[in-house]
Amino acid sequence: KHALWIVVLALGVLCWGQRLLEIPEYDGRDRVHELTNKNYKTVMKKYDIMVIYYHKAIGENLMARKQLEVEELALELAAQVLDDLHDKDIGFGLVDVKKDVAVAKKLGLEEVDSIYIFIDDEIIEYDGELAAETLVEFLYDVIKDPVEIINNERELKGFFNLVEDIKLVGYFKNEDSLSKYISYTKKSLIATNLKLDLNEVNFYEPFMDEPVIIPGKPYTEAELIDYIEEHDRPTLRKLEPHSMYETWEDDINGQHIVAFAEESDPDGFEFLEILKEVAGVNTENPDLSILWIDPDDFPLLVPYWEKTFGIDLSSPQIGVVDVKDADSIWMEMDDEENMPTANELDIWIEEVLVGKIDPNDNEDHDDFDDIDSEDSDEEKEKKDNEEEDDADKNDDEINYNDD
């Protein structure tokens, strides 16, 4: 009651027009439930959708507790904002991996530090950034009908405009069981444009103009799901805040080929075009999955990445990163006005895949796994990437210790 009063007061200060653009801040009211064996059924029954954060045990660790507090705040803000949603009741809950073993087991929670979304009879895992904005945006997508009916040229253009995710499109005369899951058209002209036969479903990898016809029509739902699961590691994929940890965990032999390119920058755009061309050529290769990161999506990480990898992210970069120790090696591009050709990039990727280019081969490298001290790792990075700019380094930076 008290917290609410404060909010009303705060709103009084602003005029209506300004309020329309005021990004909400947490009002202090508790909305996130701590789920226990006793209350979880009652709580979950109250909501159409339940968002559960399955978190680590906190115990005595001060930092872990502080971390959880920040995460809880993000969930509280999300819950507060979604309170205003008119057509769905969305609840939020916490399950502690140690204290609430029974609840976790009953709900089928498996991966700690993940968020599980219970909607209808489905459970969707969220393994992205724990920030209110990102989570709330993801929830809108969860609520939304994933199927679009493509009726005209403009809608078709809109369909082609979605390049960052896997998409399926079919040509059906009647709504059948599959049309619950797949964007489709009933118009033969559109089907012709999509090069679809009746009852056929096409599969588009991210960033690919040409689809693959899923073999074996007519399909059952299970057959389609199998096909998608078999093909869910695309040749080129974008790191997105709402699925970043999930994507990052899906490395290939402990490594990621990472490309940094800012789409809204002409050089970044140019590099991305070359990248798509190379991906198109290699789309049949199951051992290749290039991770594209647009620095614009992760502004707070840019200086840290520049420092760790010893690269300048104001122009495009491509490299190989060892996911365990963050060692990395980057393609040399001498001049941002002079991008590699698709062919040069293809050869470079080939050399990565056969192991000729390897982040762990870097000669000045000591391969120590001791990661307790930030300093030693920082030096390791620095040694690899001595830059001209180092000339004017700060006094508080650590000297290299050559061992």
Binding to a second copy (CB under 8 A): which residues in 30-69?
62-64, 67
35-43, 194-202, 355-363, 366-374 -> range binding a second copy (CB under 8 A): 366-374
Backbone angles phi, psi at 281, to 5 degrees: -65, -35
Q: Least Å distance between CB 229 and a second copy?
A: 24
Contact 194, 209 (CB under 8 A): no
At its nearest, how many Å lie between a second copy and the CB of residue 222?
A: 27
Among 337, 395, 402, 403, binds a second copy (CB under 8 A): 337
Cβ partners under 8 Å of residue 233, min gap 6? 250, 286, 289
For residue 118, the SS3 value is strand
Q: How many residues bind a second copy (CB under 8 A)?
A: 96
| Interaction of residue 25 with a second copy, rule CB under 8 A | yes
Q: Which stretch binds a second copy (CB under 8 A): 103-111, 229-237, 352-360, 373-381?
A: 373-381
| Binding string, residues 144-163; x marks residues near a second copy by CB under 8 A | x---xxxxx-xx-xxx-xx-
Least distance CB 58 / a second copy (angstroms): 12
Work out how close the CB of 239 gets to a second copy at its nearest, in angstroms, rounded to a whole number: 8
Task: Write down the least CB distance from residue 103 to a second copy, Å.
Answer: 25
Q: Are 320 and 252 in contact (CB under 8 A)?
A: no
Of the candidate spans 103-111, 204-212, 315-323, 354-362, the one that interacts with a second copy by CB under 8 A turns out to be 315-323
Torsion of CA 375, 380, 383, 388, to 10 degrees: -60
- Using the structure block, give the residue that is written with the tokens 């040399």: 332
CB of 389 to a second copy, least distance (A): 5
- The contacts of residue 322 (CB under 8 Å, 6+ apart) are 254, 255, 328, 359, 360
Is 140 a residue that touches a second copy (CB under 8 A)? Answer: yes
Backbone angles phi, psi at 224, to 5 degrees: -65, -45
Instruction: Output the CA angle 144-148-154, nearest 5 degrees.
Output: 125
Residues in the chain: 403
d(CA 43, CA 29): 17
Contacts (CB under 8 A) with a second copy, residues 219-258: 244-245, 248
Q: Binding to a second copy by residue 174, rule CB under 8 A?
A: no
